[in-house]
Structures are given as structure tokens and as C-alpha cells.
Amino acid sequence: MSRRNTKLSHISIPELSLVLLIGPSGAGKSTFARKFFKSTEVISSDVCRGLISDDENNQAVSADAFEVVRFIAAKRLKLGLLTVIDATNVQPESRKEWVRLAREYHVLPVAIVLNMPERVCQDRNVLRTDRNFGAHVIPQQIGQLKRGLRGLREEGFRHIFEMRSEEDVAMLETITRTPLYNNKKEEHGPFDIIGDVHGCYDELCTLLHTLGYQLDKENATLISAATTTTADGYTLIRKPVFVGDLVDRGPKSPQVLRLVMNMVGNGQALCVPGNHDAKLLRYLNGKNVQLRHGLEQTVAQLAGETPAFLESVKSFIDGLVSHYVLDDGKLVVAHAGLKESMQGRGSGAVREFCLYGETTGETDEFGLPVRYNWALEYKGRAMVVYGHTPVPVAQWLNNTIDIDTGCVFGASLTALRYPERELVSVPALEEYAVPARPIGYNAESTLSVQQQYDGVLDIADFTGKQILETRYSHNITIREENNIAALEVMSRFAVNPKWLIYLPPTMSPAETSQEPGMLENPAEGLQYFRDAGITKVICETKHMGSRAVVIVCRDEAAAAARFGVTGEGNGIVYTRTGRAFFTDKQMEQAFIARINTALINTGFYESFDTDWVCLDAELMPWSAKAQALLQHQYAAVGAAAGHALPAVMNALQQAVSNGAPAQALLDKYSQRLGQTTRYAAAYRQYCWPVNELSDYKLAPFHIMATEGKTYFDKDHEWHMSAIKNICAGDKQILLATPYLLVDIGDAESEKAAITWWEQLTAAGGEGMVIKPYTFLSKDAKGLIQPAIKIRGKEYLRIIYGPEYDAEENLARLRSRKLSGKRSLALREFALGLEALERFVNKEPLQLVHRCVFAILALESEAVDPRL
């Protein structure tokens, strides 16, 4: 598009562009901008002068004002928003800066020139009382403008519109914005994205056939496309998307071109250009191109083709768009991949990147440029599918995948089915070429590319303020100070992040009971769920041990393959803060082996079609992990009270028998003696010595995840029964949790729950947990508590102190606030499930780790620890 005098009612500009209004003072730029653009799209240098100096005409602050304009413009362009610069922009130097900015953000610069007659400008300025610069200014600006006009194209503007009179301006009615060619967000697929073909026509036909397409191979046309039937019964037509490099090295480049050109021409396929295609175009255009790297074969094969065919090849390749942004921006296809900041943008740099990728500037021992793997740092939301560099196996890395599996080098031709994320490959019929650099060179590890990359996470992804999206709840904000605490815990105490795919949420107690002598009672727990509109709940015995996350893999190979962990055994048990439960590695692995045997013997791996499992559980005895706490805290208080109170009783009894008025004191202290005795009995319940493995008891209560699956859609009864099956495999250390189903609103049923709790706690149990029958339950406001604990009267002594149930103490303790704890529980619950979903979906570890890191961060919130 060249510079032209615009006498149009309608012009169009790219939807993502940096629009420069060019014209002398008084040309009507601001009026023009107001008419055609949103006020937030326009950044005026005058306004910025005003912002920083209270005076829109203060020429002394021009430099600073322009910095502000540039800063705002840069932020908008980064977000992909059209931006209009309202300044005179009459000098080439001042425009240069804007062209540079447009390039930096890979957007197109657009020039709209208001080349008004001098009289018009002078007249307008006379009317403006706030403008009183000399009469020489406007002619000077007009002179500069006119001198520079011819050079606009040279300066880098491809879209130039010039208006020379008020009539021109008045005639213009609309400015429309055209999407970039690469924007195909409205195409939702499904797609079959096909790797570098390189003239391997036979393999391409086989692959398309395998994918369900019917071809007329002879005439290189599509007979019918593959289809997919959706869950609700619709038939969707699939579409191949070629990642480029259709030609060179292989035996039948013209046939490949013919087929792809036909399909693309008929709207049956999409194609982006590869570097080989681009080079072929240069050759066909008569450019001086070396016939190397397989181009020589293509040229020879094309020798027999008609000039008309060659012309159509030229216009086909010339018309290819560097990359496509598809499916609402969720999918990007580019030959050599594309980093996030370039997606959906248009510039020479973007095109170069799409064709060649990024190189470090060095060459390797094979004389080839060393490729800089942009995918290592990729954190974009869009999946990027690309080719260009042959790899032994197509592997995911940070939501990107290279599907060039080197067909022309005798390996295979691969397609990625989208959105299914399935890889389909057909083997090469022969080795048509020998790669200069061995494929997969440097790939010596048994771990996947993603797992190797995940070996070390980047601290910048976890520190500072973080906002996490969760699929089961709202966005969750983690404050910087909480992350500071989490970093310390995580790096000093937590296990290898690759194991850390889940942390359990905290659990809130029921609202405080007003019953005499009680702080908690199931009635309030049931009431909570009734208020949330739940009709059925499950009451589970609350075991008093330590919360434990247990991951068991069938063998070390499974641990390496799925978790990317090597040399650390085939499983782990960690606490709710991510610390290894066992300090003795041998003991840990022996424990894992016991559970593994139970899983094997009960056919778990087969029936769940997995080779690993993540269980949420309670591990007993409490004394195994809480030894220090027990000795320094619980036993100490018991010992002190146990040896002080008898002496007190003695003294008081003696005083009373000698006639002193100490009976009231005697009563009071004998109550204390009773309380502290019961207190000691309470903590002793949960202690037993651990001399061997079978002294441990593990009570799993949720099956959190197995390969490719989570179990949040299953109800708790399902969990309980699946776990019961596992527990049958090792009755010595595995413990199935007793439970009771309760219908809310059914008085009998609710009464049974309370009676059961009374029996449990009377027998020394910690209490029970009430959960909604379904794993995930919501009410109008969102998630509701996944579990509410009701602790027993005696158990609470070790939480609130031995004497908590004296009525004068209870009265004060009842004023406890649960809202903070409950909000934390919900956020941690949503984050824990999110972490697991991300893990089973094979998302990069960084995204899983963000969730568990956030849970640890939330745990550093100050909450009453007795709740």
C-alpha cells in the first residue's frame, strides 16, 4: 500500500497497529482522534505534558512528556491493543522512535497524515486562547511535514493515509480494523497438525489415511475429510494443518505441493511456510539461491512440471501466513515455533522467527547454527505446535511440542490430533536423506525433555505476589510475605518438587456448640451442610495420627517415567507441609513396598489402569512423627500436673482436716486433678512405640489421582469402598476407615450420627469428619467446606489444655471465629485439586508447583492453631 491522497469515506487499518497522527498544530488531530478512536486508545503528547507539569503547552517538559507517551504506548502494545499517538510527528526523527516501538512489539505502524492548508491551521490556533506561539511555528511544521512525506514508506510505514483538506476529513466516515491474516481464532478445529513432510508423499498419504481422510492419491485431491463426533452427537469436520517444509530432500515434493495446495485452496486445510518452502520461493523467483540441503532434488523433480504449476506454487508459498493463532487463541502453529510475545503479531522479525526459530549465533561441530530453545522459557497460555528441528520422539515441553520426527531421514511422519493431544505416526518407507547432525543428539537421559527441564524450577515463578487460576474456584491471590515464608519451608524442608503434586487442605471444625461441657458437637456440623443445601453427608472416623500424602509407583521405572524421579525409590510419604514423613530412607521404601504389594495383590493397578497412585491418608501413631511435640509439650504438662497436684491435694486435705476453711479450694483442685488425669489418658491413646514397620497404621481416605485421572467426580462412598479393597491387601498396616451415611433432615439418621460420635469419642477416638456425599460440592457462593471436623470432648483437652472444660473456661473459649480458617480451607482445597489436575494433564511442573507452593504460603497465615 503506498502513500495516497485519501478521498474516501472508508479506510481500513490492521486491528493491531500503532497509529501515528501526523500534522502541524491546528491540523485537527485531536478532533480526528476523538471521532474515530476510543479515548483510551489515544495518547496525546499535550495531555502528557499536562499530566506531569499542569500545563499542556509547556514545551520545556517535552522530552519527559514523550517518555510518558512512549511508556504508556509500550504497555498497551504489550497487551496487544491498538494505540494512537496524538502528536505533531512532523519530523522524521520523531517518527523513527515510534516505528522502532512498533517493531519492538511486532505491530504494524500506520501513518494518518493531516496535511491541512496553512490557513486552516492558523485559523484554528487563533481561536484557541491557550495557544499563543509565534506565527512562524505552523509554516515551519508544514515545511517539515511536506519534506518528509515522500520518505514515509522508507521509514517503515506500510499503511499511509493522507488528507489534504477539511473536505477530505469530512468525507471520511469510518475506519475499520481488519484482523491480521494469522488470526484464525474463530476456527476451533478439530485439527490434525502434520509435521515436516519434505516430499514424503507416500507417507503423507498413509498418515492422512490413518487419520481418517479419504484421498485421491493419483490426482492429489481430498475426497473426504476425517470427522469427529462430539459427546452431544454433532459431527465435526477435521482439518489438517501443515507446519511447513513440504518440500526438499524427499522423493515427491511436487506431489506434496499439489495435494497441500489443493486442500488449502479448497479451504480443507491450513498451512504455514517452512524455511525450505521460503527458499524454494526465492529460487522460483529467480533469486540467487544455492542448490543445497535437498533443494536440488526439488528443483530436479519440478523440471517436468508446467510453467502454470510453477506459477501456482509461487503464489501459494507467497500467500502463506507466517503462523496461525487458532481456537480462541488456545493453539498456535508455526514452523519453528513462536514465543508468546510474537503470537498473533506481524513483523519481519515474527516471520523470521516462524521460519528459522532462534539461534545463539554459535555453530556446532557439524557446522550448523546452534539453536536456542525458546520453548525452555515458554510460559504462554497457547499450545504451540511446530516442527523444523527433527527430534527422535515428539515430546511436550511447557505446553509446546515439536512434531518433526524426521520422516525424510527414515524415521516417521507424525501428526498431533487437536484438541485430543494424541500423536499419530507412520514410519518412513526409506531413509531419503542423512541428517547433517544426528537426530536427538545430546539426548542421553532416560527422562523426558520436560522432566529434565523440570529438574530445576525458576524462582521468579513463585515469589512476589501471585495470582492463581483454579478450575474449581475463583482466582486465588497469594501475598508476597506468605510466599517469603513458603520459600523458606519449601527449600529447607520439602521433598523433591517432582513428588510434590498435592498438599492437603486444612480443615475447619464445626461451629461452637452451646451444650454444657462441650465445645464441639456433630449437630453443628450437620447444620452447616443443611444450610449449604446438602441432603446427604458421610461421617468418617477421624484418625489421630499425622496427615500424610502417599505416592506409590509400581516400580522405579514408573517413578522415573511418570514423576521424573530417579534414585529416590518408587514412592514417598510426606506430611502436609511437604516434608518427608520418614527420616530413614530404608524404612520409607520398606513402607512403600508394603503398600505396593497390597496394591499389586488386590489388582489395583489393573483395575485403575495405572502404574501409580496418590493417596490422601492419616498415618499413625501420632507419636511416630510428633515425638518431639509429645515429649516437650504433652507428656511434660502431664508429668508436671501429675506430680504437683497430689502434693496440693495432700496439703489441702490436711488443712481441711485441721479445720481451715479450704474445702472450696480442695474441690477446685480435685477437679483439676481429674482433668489432668483425663488429659494424660487422652494423649496416651494416640501413642504407641514404633519398633518395626507393622507398628505403623495407614488409613487412606481419598484416592486422589492415578495415571491420567483424578477422582473428584466420585462420591465418598466410592472412595471408601475402593480403599477398602486396597486395605484388604495388607490388614496389618492398612486400615479402612469406618463411616456412616447420613440423610440431612432425617431426624433418625442425624441422631444416629450424633450417637455414633458419642460412642467413638467415649472410646477414646479423636472424633469424626463430616463430608458432603459428593467430593466437590458447591452452593450459590461457590465451593462449600469439603469436610468439617467434630472433635471429641477428651481429645480437645490436648488442644485447648487440660482444664478447658471447666464451665468458666468454656464460656470464654466459645467465642472463637471460624471464618478465617474456613476461607483458608476452601482456598487450599481448590489449590490442591488444581495441582493434581495439572499433574495428571501432564502440565509443566512449574504450574503444579505454583499450586502447592501457594498452599504452603497460605499455611503461613496467622490462624488460631486450636481450630
Partner 1 sequence: MLLTITTKRYPATDLGYLLHKHPAKVQTVTLTAGSAHIFYPEATDQSCTAALLLDIDPVRLVRGNNGPADFVLEQYVNDRPYVASSFMSAAIAQAYSSAMNGRCKDKPHLVDEAIPFEINLSVLPVKGGEALLREFFEPLGYDITVQSHLLDEQFPEWGQSRYFNVTLRHTLPLKTILSQLYILIPVCDNDKHYFIGGHEIEKLMEKGKGWLDTHPAKELITRRYLRYIGPLAKEALGMIMKDEVLPVEEKQPKDKIRLHDLRLQTVREILLELNVATVADMGCGEGKLLRLLMEKPAFKKILGMDVSYHALEIAQSKLKMDRLPEMQRARLQLVQGALTYRDKRLSGFDAGVLVEVIEHLDEPRLAALEKVVFEYARPQYVIITTVNAEYNVLYEKLDSGAFRHTDHRFEWTRSQFATWGDRVATQFGYEVSYRPLGETDEVLGGPSQLALFKRS
Task: Enter the DSSP assignment of 494.
Answer: B
> Coil, strand, or helix at residue 548?
strand
Q: How far is the CB of 513 from partner 1 (least distance, A)?
A: 18
Q: Would you count residue 654 as binding partner 1 (CB under 8 A)?
A: yes
Q: Would you count residue 813 as binding partner 1 (CB under 8 A)?
A: yes
State which residue, 180 or 662, has the beta carbon closest to partner 1: 662
Name the grid cell of 486.
Answer: 513458603
State which residue, 341 or 631, has the beta carbon closest to partner 1: 631
SS3 per-residue string spanning 396-412: EECCEEECCCCHHHCCE
Name the grid cell of 773.
Answer: 456425599
Q: Would you count residue 809 as binding partner 1 (CB under 8 A)?
A: yes
Q: Would you count residue 800 as binding partner 1 (CB under 8 A)?
A: yes
List C-alpha distances in Å: 769 to 39, 686, 821: 57, 17, 16
Q: Would you count residue 266 as binding partner 1 (CB under 8 A)?
A: no
State which residue, 569 or 738, has the beta carbon closest to partner 1: 569
Q: Would you count residue 865 as binding partner 1 (CB under 8 A)?
A: yes
Q: Would you count residue 641 as binding partner 1 (CB under 8 A)?
A: yes
Which single residue is written with the C-alpha cell 521468579? 460
794: left (phi over 0), alpha (psi -120 to 50) or beta: alpha
Q: Would you count residue 864 as binding partner 1 (CB under 8 A)?
A: yes
Question: Of 99-107, 165-173, 357-365, 630-638, which segment contacts partner 1 by CB under 8 A?
Answer: 630-638
> Using the rule CB under 8 A, which residue among 47, 600, 752, 799 binds partner 1?
799
Amino acid at 349: A
Name the grid cell of 465.
Answer: 505476589
Q: Would you count residue 645 as binding partner 1 (CB under 8 A)?
A: yes
Amino acid at 754: I
Distance CA 409, CA 401 (A): 19
> Using the rule CB under 8 A, which residue among 231, 647, 747, 763 binds partner 1?
647
> Using the rule CB under 8 A, which residue among 1, 52, 636, 762 binds partner 1?
636
SS3 per-residue string spanning 667-681: HHHHHHHHHHHHHHH
Helix (H) or strand (E) holding 271: strand 270-271
Q: How far is the CB of 398 from partner 1 (least distance, A)?
A: 14
Angle between helices 747-762 and 522-531 (to 10 degrees): 140
Question: Of 455-463, 544-552, 554-562, 733-741, which segment contacts partner 1 by CB under 8 A?
Answer: 455-463
CB 709 within 8 A of CB 609: no
> Using the rule CB under 8 A, which residue among 661, 747, 763, 807 binds partner 1?
661
Q: How far is the CB of 508 from partner 1 (least distance, A)?
A: 16
CB atoms within 10 A of CB 138: 22
State which residue, 231 or 811, has the beta carbon closest to partner 1: 811
Q: How far is the CB of 693 from partner 1 (least distance, A)?
A: 18
State which residue, 540 or 794, has the beta carbon closest to partner 1: 794
Q: How far is the CB of 321 from partner 1 (least distance, A)?
A: 34
Question: Of 285-293, 645-653, 729-737, 745-753, which segment contacts partner 1 by CB under 8 A?
Answer: 645-653
Q: How far is the CB of 349 from partner 1 (least distance, A)?
A: 23
> Using the rule CB under 8 A, which residue among 191, 432, 634, 839 binds partner 1?
634
> Using the rule CB under 8 A, which residue among 65, 680, 744, 768 binds partner 1?
680
State which residue, 328 or 864, has the beta carbon closest to partner 1: 864
State which residue, 237 or 639, has the beta carbon closest to partner 1: 639
Distance CA 603, CA 446 (A): 28
State which residue, 490 or 783, has the beta carbon closest to partner 1: 490
- 551-590: contacts with partner 1 (CB under 8 A): 567-568, 580
- 476-515: contacts with partner 1 (CB under 8 A): 484-485, 487-488, 490-492, 495-496
Question: Of 82-90, 112-120, 130-138, 668-676, which segment contacts partner 1 by CB under 8 A?
Answer: 668-676
Q: Would you count residue 459 as binding partner 1 (CB under 8 A)?
A: yes
Q: How far is the CB of 685 from partner 1 (least distance, A)?
A: 11
Question: Of 185-193, 451-459, 708-716, 746-754, which segment contacts partner 1 by CB under 8 A?
Answer: 451-459
Which among 428, 291, 339, 363 is positioned nearest to 106, based on CA atoms? Answer: 339
User: Which stretches of 180-252 are DSSP H helices?
Assistant: 201-210
Which among 603, 608, 618 is positioned nearest to 737, based on CA atoms? Answer: 618
Distance CA 667, CA 686 (A): 30
- 597-616: contacts with partner 1 (CB under 8 A): none
Query: Across the strands, what pairs with 541?
Result: 768
Q: Would you count residue 690 as binding partner 1 (CB under 8 A)?
A: no
> Using the rule CB under 8 A, which residue among 684, 714, 724, 778 binds partner 1?
684
Q: State the Rg of the chain over Cα.
A: 36
Q: How far is the CB of 384 from partner 1 (least distance, A)?
A: 22
Which single residue is written with the C-alpha cell 519481519? 348
Name the grid cell of 865.
Answer: 492453631
CB 728 within 8 A of CB 602: yes
> Using the rule CB under 8 A, which residue among 590, 593, 600, 665 binds partner 1?
665
Distance CA 76, CA 61 (A): 23
Name the grid cell of 696.
Answer: 505403623
Q: How far is the CB of 695 from partner 1 (least distance, A)?
A: 13
CB 752 within 8 A of CB 538: no
State which residue, 248 or 766, has the beta carbon closest to partner 1: 766
Name the grid cell of 217.
Answer: 492419491
Question: Of 184-192, 203-211, 334-342, 856-864, which segment contacts partner 1 by CB under 8 A?
Answer: 856-864
CB atoms within 10 A of CB 712: 16
List C-alpha distances in Å: 694 to 595, 599, 614, 676: 12, 17, 21, 32
Q: Would you count residue 639 as binding partner 1 (CB under 8 A)?
A: yes
> Using the rule CB under 8 A, which residue among 640, 693, 728, 762 binds partner 1?
640
Q: Would you count residue 802 as binding partner 1 (CB under 8 A)?
A: yes
State which residue, 654 or 841, has the beta carbon closest to partner 1: 654
For 724, counting Cβ atoms within 10 Å of its Cβ (0-12 exposed, 13-18 middle, 19+ buried), the class is middle
Amino acid at 561: A
CB 32 within 8 A of CB 195: no
End-to-end CA distance of the chain: 70
> Using the rule CB under 8 A, which residue among 63, 689, 692, 780 binds partner 1?
689
Which among 857, 824, 851, 846 is positioned nearest to 835, based on CA atoms? Answer: 851
**Residues within the interface to partner 1 (CB under 8 A):** 455-460, 462-463, 484-485, 487-488, 490-492, 495-496, 567-568, 580, 630-631, 633-645, 647-648, 650-652, 654-655, 658-662, 665, 668-669, 676, 680, 684, 687, 689, 798-804, 809, 812-813, 862-866
